[in-house]
Amino acid sequence: MPPFRSLLRFIRAPPLPNTGSLARDLLASERTFLAWARTGLGFIALGVALEKVEVLAALSPTLLQLQDSRTKLAAGVLVAAGSLCVGHGTVRYFSVLELLKDGKFRPNTGGVTLMAVTCVGIAVVGSILVVENEADNKAREQDKEGEKKVTV
């Protein structure tokens, strides 16, 4: 058995009996899918916007001091996380649909875990990038001040 299966078994909860109204449950499932899609599209839009800011910074280097590799990496991570959210929401919707047909329901512990880990990861990496960028900016300012003192 691959290690992924054992991890999946640890994260996924067993199906539960569905004792509520089927129509209400299906509509709630659709709203949940739309929330996953909206969240995913928000991540994707943020990644695309970050890439566009980098293009504007390249046109006017004094506008923003961004490093290409960092912003490309951050934009790529945001687009990937958004795509993962949309994909998970789609898979989740259809798996819930099948379970509801059988009168069962499985809590979304895997998706919640995935979203929490993704958001914490993006926040940590984003914080690191901001701190590094600030340190780089301070080093550049000190270099400029040193050059001014030498030329005076």
Structure tokens at 96: 């819930």
Q: At 122, is the pLDDT very low, low, confident or very high (cuts 50, 70, 90)?
A: confident
**CA–CA distance, 129 with 70 (Å, rounded to integer):** 7
Q: Calculate mean pLDDT across residues 39-48.
A: 93
Residue range(s) defining the domain that contains residue 114: 19-151
Q: Calculate mean pLDDT across residues 89-98.
A: 91
In a domain, 57, yes or no: yes
Q: Please write the tens of the pLDDT for every residue from 26-35.
A: 889 999 999 9
Q: Calculate mean pLDDT across residues 137-141.
A: 77
**CA–CA distance, 1 with 55 (Å, rounded to integer):** 47
Q: Calculate mean pLDDT across residues 141-152.
A: 70
- The model's pTM is 0.69
Alpha-carbon torsion, ordered 84, 90, 95, 98, to 10 deg:
-170
- Looking at the structure of the chain, the number of domains it has is 1
**Neighbouring-strand partners of residue 16:** 105
Residue 87: is its pLDDT beyond 90? yes
Q: At 79, is the pLDDT very low, low, confident or very high (cuts 50, 70, 90)?
A: very high
Selection from 87, 86, 101 nearest residue 25 by Cα: 101
In a domain, 1, yes or no: no
Q: Which residues of 56-73 are buried (b: 16+ CB within 10 A; e: fewer)?
A: ebeeeeeeeebeeebbee
In the chain, the amino acid numbered 120 is V
In a domain, 10, yes or no: no
Selection from 31, 44, 41 nearest residue 92 by Cα: 31
In a domain, 56, yes or no: yes
Q: At 41, is the pLDDT very low, low, confident or very high (cuts 50, 70, 90)?
A: very high
> Mean pLDDT over all residues of the chain?
80
Selection from 29, 42, 36, 12 nearest residue 87 by Cα: 36
